[in-house]
Amino acid sequence: MSSSMKAELFCLHCNKDTPHTVTYVGNTLESIKCIECGNEIQIKKEKLLENYAIDFIERILTKPHRMTEELEHDIKKFILSLPIRVVTKPYRIAREVEQIVKKDRS
């Protein structure tokens, strides 16, 4: 999934702090664009996919630990949410991968 946020950053072209739009795909930075001058820094797509793959593998490897923490924190909530999560997780992963692939093709 793609998301954007506004941030006050130093622009090399404006030579001052200006508002920027920071865009992420999943948890990976895709671009930073100065709202005042329009200068944009794009992250290379090959690196985006490489970083996404690394992030995805790390999420898979840490999932058992995160689930154990959820279980210990609130067992009732965990048990009630588990059937829905099991059903929706493949769909959510497919959507996330689709967004990454679409960005790579453009």
Q: Look at residue 28 and give its three-state secondary structure.
A: strand
- Confidence check: pLDDT of 102 > 80: no
Q: Quick one: pLDDT at residue 22?
A: 94
Q: How many CA atoms lie within 13 A of 68 on its CB side?
A: 5
For the entire predicted model, the pTM comes to 0.48
Q: Quick one: pLDDT at residue 23?
A: 92
Whole-Å CA distances, 91 to 97, 100, 101, 105: 10, 14, 15, 21
Q: Quick one: pLDDT at residue 20?
A: 96
Q: How many CA atoms lie within 13 A of 76 on its CB side?
A: 0
Contacts of 53 (CB under 8 A, 6+ apart): none
Which pLDDT tens digit goes with each residue over 47-94?
Answer: 767 778 888 888 889 999 999 999 999 999 999 999 998 889 888 888
Identify any residues that bridge with 31 across adjacent strands, giving them in sequence order. 23, 42
- Confidence check: pLDDT of 105 > 90: no
User: Which carries the bigger pLDDT value, residue 45 or residue 22?
Assistant: 22
Confidence of residue 104 (pLDDT cuts 50, 70, 90): low
Q: Quick one: pLDDT at residue 66?
A: 92
In 14-91, beta strands by DSSP E: 16-25, 28-34, 40-42
